[in-house]
Amino acid sequence: MATIAVIDYGMGNLHSVARALNHVAPRAQVTVTQDPQVILGADRVVFPGQGAMRDCMSELQRHDLIDVISTAARTRPFLGLCLGPQALLTHSEENGGVAGLNILPGRSLWFGHHLRSAALANQHLKIPHMGWNRVHQTRPHPLWTSIAQDSRFYFVHSYYLLPDEPTLTAGLTDYGFEFTSVMAKDNVFAVQFHPEKSAAAGLQLLANFSCWHP
C-alpha cells in the first residue's frame, strides 16, 4: 500500500489536507505525523502550514524536523502547501526577517511593497490576498494533468514567493502584479494556495500528486 505522510509541526489545517488526500487516493495510507521515521519511510510527503514564518521555523526546530524535511525533499515526491512553499525558500521578510530551509533559492516578500502602487491605480487590493484567484500554468508538469489553464484556486496569504531562478516558477497569479504562486523542481512541487479548499481543481492536483513518479 502506498503511504503519504502529512508533516505535523503544530501549524495548519492538517486534517483537512489528510481528508482530501484520503478522498482522492482511497487506497493510500495517509498519516498526519511528526515522527521522523514515519515521514522518511513514506512514499510521498506533504508539507502544509498556516501562520507566521518565525513560528513555523521555531516549531520545525522544536520537533527536530528541519533535516527530515530537507532529506524528504531530496528523495521522494514532496508537496508544499501554503506556508510550506515560503519555508522552502532561503529567506522571508516576515517577522523582521526569518531564515528559511533554503531548499529552493529565493525569498518571500510582503505584498504591501507592490500594492501601495496598485492602490494608486484605484485597485484598492487588500492584504492578505484572500479568496479565489487564477493560476496560469507556465510550463507542463505532471501535477497539472487534467487541470484547465487559468483554473481558480483558494488563497490566504500576505507574503508572496520570489524564487531566484525563473525556471523554478510553474504557475503565476495576478494580484495587482504578477507573482509566482507555484514552484517546481525535480521531485518538489510547492503551491501558495490551499488545494484542499480549492474544489475540483485542488482535488485533481492532490490526485495527481498521489500517483506522481518523478
Measured distance CA(138)–CA(177) in Å, rounded = 16
| Angle, alpha carbons 133-118-191 (nearest 5°) | 30
Measured distance CA(30)–CA(119) in Å, rounded = 44
Q: Quote the distance between the C-alpha of residue 65 and its chain's center.
A: 17
The beta strand positions in 55-121, using DSSP E, are 78-81, 91-92, 98-99, 106-110
Q: Is 196 a catalytic residue?
A: yes
Measured distance CA(29)–CA(27) in Å, rounded = 7
Look up residue 212 and give its DSSP letter: -
Active-site entry in 56, 91, 157, 196: 196
Residues 6+ apart with CB under 8 A from 124: none
Active-site entry in 91, 129, 157, 194: 194
CB 79 within 8 A of CB 209: yes
Measured distance CA(163)–CA(104) in Å, rounded = 7
Active-site entry in 82, 94, 129, 157: 82
Active site residues: 82, 194, 196
